[in-house]
Amino acid sequence: MEYLKDLDTSIFKAYDFRGIYPTQMNERAINLVSQAYLKFLSQKFNKPIKNLNIAICGDARKSSQPLLSEAVKIFLEYGVTIYDLGFQSVNDYYFAVGKYKYDGGFMATASHNPPEYGGCKLAYTNTDYKNSIDFISGKELLKFMQNLEFPLKDEKTPGKIIKKQIVEDHLQHILSFVDVKKIKSLKVVVDTGNGMNGILVPKIFAKLSCQLIHLFPELDGNFPNRPPNPLAEGAADKLAAKIKDTKADLGFICDVDGDRVNLVDEQGNFYKGDMTMVPMIKPMLDQHPGVGIVYNLITSHSIRDLIIKWGGKAIRSEVGYLNLARHMREQNGIMSGEVSAHFAFRDNYYADNAFIAMVLILQAISEDGRPLSEMMKGYTLYHKSNELNFVVDNIETELAKFRQAYKNNIVDEIDGITVEFKDWWFNVRPSNTEPLLRLTVEANEAKLLADKILELEGLIDFKERK
């Protein structure tokens, strides 16, 4: 275990690998992560490391190039065939691993964290399901590493790098989800935040009749124009202003690695992930009548009701991509969506793709014909809080209070505690990564929502709200 002694294990996250560069996440960490990943893939596919093929790419962060270079060095030492995708968004990366059936993939990215962060996402082909990719989480790989010796004893032999162009294949794939002729000449503002979607967005819109107004298209790992996370305070303000100034029909805002997208209407109203999902549902069900659509348990009940209204099967899931993907596979779901604005699709290798989400929304708006704000008003059936976060000393003690107070109305405890009444509901759950309680509340009326938030907050012995 000597190799772990100076390693900051906080970089091993629930879904990926992230930390401040170079104090937490650095080349030494990536050296060990890369070796462990090779061993994981070798065992997964039952073949020598030297026979593996792995796609690589990176985002525009300052840390991504040195971290990616370290991974490439390790892969080449052990004989791996590397397919170099260049600078790409997460959407492109997932597509490439799935489309070309690479054994694995390594993307240097720190998701929507601030500029000083570095990290990586590790994907692989899931051979248990047709046309599916999967991911190894930081926590999963850390556990796997406990039984390894470093450096690996496997044969060292020179690997090779092959440049791989994926743009045309990916464009064709994205547009296959819609009938391009049905998308009208909408004026659309897209804020890619100096992040990776700035590469493909203009290429997609060149295939459509829409007018694109592109905010912050230049790649810049310092993200100088707005926070990397679209949900951060004020992140969408410049987009909303541009939409109103240009009298655009709608706007999209992406996170900087590209896999999340939120919708903004012509009045500048911002929609969380669950309501951003709504316009995609009908086009998907029109193409695939009666299929399942997966949503997580903190999304608005509007989602559930509209899926059923439009003839689909509403599949409720725990929070988190891995949970939604599992339900999609096991229950033949066609797509999934989360409040965090991750949207995954069965026919996209069960992976996220913000570009597919965008074109589906453009088709839905075109077919509806109403202004987006009016269209969304008709879909907003309830009044819902943001997710409210509370710092507490003991999560289990706090959960026990809710369990006792609402014991007669508990629906389930598959992810925290969900409680339902005829005119309101709530979910309270622990954070995966911090000593936080997360509370979501929804009600039929705005006043009832406000009253119930106060009632529920009164149960919590918290140090602060976050």
pLDDT digits (tens, 9 = 90+) for 193-243: 999 999 999 999 999 999 999 999 999 999 999 999 999 999 999 999 999
Query: What CATH number does residue 111 fall under?
Result: 3.40.120.10
Q: How far apart are CA 399 and CA 427, in angstroms?
A: 11
Contacts of 230 (CB under 8 A, 6+ apart): 112, 193, 236, 253, 254, 255, 260, 261, 262, 341
- Tokens describing residue 405: 């107070």
Distances (CA, A) of 214 to 123, 171, 217, 256, 357: 30, 18, 6, 14, 17
pLDDT surpasses 80 at 362 = yes
Question: Do 133 and 12 lie in a common domain?
Answer: yes
Would you place residue 407 in the very low, low, confident or very high pLDDT band (cuts 50, 70, 90)?
very high
pLDDT of residue 124: 98
Instruction: Give the pLDDT confidence of 133-159 residue by residue, as tens digits.
Output: 999 999 999 999 999 999 999 999 999
Percent of the chain at pLDDT > 90 equals 96
Instruction: Using alpha carbons, select from 87, 276, 123 the residue that is nearest to residue 195.
Output: 87
Specify the pairing of strand 160-163 against strand 187-191: unpaired
Work out the average pLDDT over 78-93.
Answer: 99
Question: Do 48 and 196 lie in a common domain?
Answer: no
Q: How far apart are CA 235 and CA 300, in angstroms?
A: 23
Q: What is the pTM of this model?
A: 0.97
Question: Do 366 and 253 lie in a common domain?
Answer: yes
- Residue, of 5 and 361, whose pLDDT is higher: 361
Highest mean pLDDT out of 6-15, 125-134, 354-363:
354-363
Question: Do 295 and 360 lie in a common domain?
Answer: yes
Question: Do 342 and 216 lie in a common domain?
Answer: yes
pLDDT surpasses 70 at 1 = no
Question: Do 388 and 371 lie in a common domain?
Answer: no
Query: Is residue 352 within a helix (H) or strand (E), and if so which, with residue range?
Result: strand 351-352
Work out the average pLDDT over 442-448.
Answer: 99
pLDDT of residue 433: 66
Which one of 379, 401, 419 terminates a domain? Answer: 379
pLDDT of residue 435: 80
Instruction: Give the pLDDT confidence of 294-304 residue by residue, as tens digits.
Output: 999 999 999 99
Provide the residue range defining the domain that includes 160.
2-165
Q: How far apart are CA 50 and CA 247, in angstroms?
A: 56
pLDDT of residue 6: 82
The total domain count for the chain is: 3
Which one of 356, 379, 402 terminates a domain? Answer: 379
Q: How far apart are CA 347 and CA 204, in angstroms?
A: 19
Q: How far apart are CA 390 and CA 459, in angstroms?
A: 12
